[in-house]
Structure 1
Amino acid sequence: MLAADNISCILPPEPPIAYIAWLIGTGTMLVLGLGLLCFCLYNSYQRKKRATVRRHIIIGPDVPLNRLREASDAMMTEYNPTYEFGGGTYTIQDLKDIPRDHLRLVKALGQGAFGEVYQGFFRHRVGDAVEMPVAVKTLPELSTHQAETDFLMEALIMSKFNHPNIVHFIGVCFDKHPRFIVLELLAGGDLKTFLRESRPKPERPSPLTMKDLLMCAMDITKGCKYMEQNRFIHRDIAARNCLLTTKGPGRVVKIADFGMARDIYRYHFLHVFKLIMLR
């Protein structure tokens, strides 16, 4: 603004500090309010998502065993209500139940196809001094319909295998979540890790001979032959899915992880049926 002499300038008055503080405070509150609104909307979305997942879980966490078996049978009705193996017919009721208080989990061994795999101990009766080391495969509470079906199917398939080159099935805990499949514990770990640890190094040759490698391969082929004789395919044979009884001499390799195993005749029949329906 020009002064009265039309030469000098008059500066406008500075805004009061209270006005500046009000602008800053209002802007801060708007930003915080917007952030809080976004946070509440995100939490609401996550709650709805978890609720949707829970609604798709067909078996609740505290369902009695008899209702669990009824639900399991109903779930498998459209795919395979009964299972044929070695000339016999089996259902979920044929699985051996293990009381949950007879198991003691010690530590996690790794991640399985469905959930964590734990090392634990199993007592045949409460109070027994002798405990059997076992491996426990788990199915978490938040599992899909397909995961629940595959987990039950793996337990049913493994319960009917009886061969020195296939991991021995002990029982199941399906009374509540997390579901357990209890198997024998093989101290040698998986074949993939064992072979990598046995690679030759500059300071030492490999401790494995050609005979050792051939014996491992023969153990796996014996297990595969047994499955083929019983009309099963593993569908995921790999070194990571083969376990050793020990890393030292006298080791035996056993096939594990039957989450993808299928009856070969029924599997191919369903595949052909789907192709026909698509056409």
Structure 2
Amino acid sequence: MSANTQTPAITAGDILALKGKQPIVSLTAYTTPMAQMMDAHCDFVLVGDSVGMVLHGLPSTLGVTMEMMILHGQAVARGLSRAMLVIDMPFGSYEEGPEQAFRNAARLMRETGAAAVKLEGGVEMASTIRFLVARGIPVMGHVGLTPQSINTLGGYKVQGRAEGGAQVLDGARAVAEAGAFAVVLEKVPQVLADEITAAVPIPTIGIGASAGCDGQVLVVDDMLGLFTAFKPKFVKRYGDLGVQAEAAIAEYAAEVRARLFPAAEHVFADQAPSKTSPKD
């Protein structure tokens, strides 16, 4: 059953129309409360397969399942009424071919209420993107560092340096020509990101790319500073909530051990006081 079938105020066509006009704002979300906080500020909210690493402690995104994406997609959908919901297709759900990709993309959209899916890959994914778009599924592309391919890329390395730039550019062009409405550029050199942004007719969404991209996306837990030991170079921390959370947990633990919490105002009396005066 779909978690949210309400048509979003912002659609794939609206995102496409922002190309070269207004910077596009996006963050990842995995829960309803976080989605509610983003709704008024983001043009689209991405349920990323990064959920596997951020919330489930997986070493990479490769272990993320369709069921995980659906669960978190439904949660995020409940928190959105304005921003467009985009959901990642997890590893193994689309690479086999266009028909497999369609079945799984349709399921993700049907069961979450998402307005679009995102999948990784450039030239090799063009035929799949074309197949999906022709059948009514808006697709966001993703080139450069594609985390689902870390075993072939040799880790989380910058992509597109030197002669590798042509391959990333070709991938972005192929994604655009296949009908994607936008493309994520992850961890590519600034000059290359600017070149791609100028070369393709669809919005580029940067993450570790360039301020010249048509939009930006970050993992919300990164930008809020919820991780205290890990900070990618391309992340600006707009808060240090991880430090604050650890301090709050430590204070709570100390008060419990000292029997300072719960205090009188946090517990209930045996009997509520009477609202009427006793009779003489």
TM normalised by structure 2 equals 0.25
Which structure is higher in RCO with an 8 Å CA cutoff and minimum separation 6? 2
Tell which structure's C-alpha radius of gyration is larger: 1
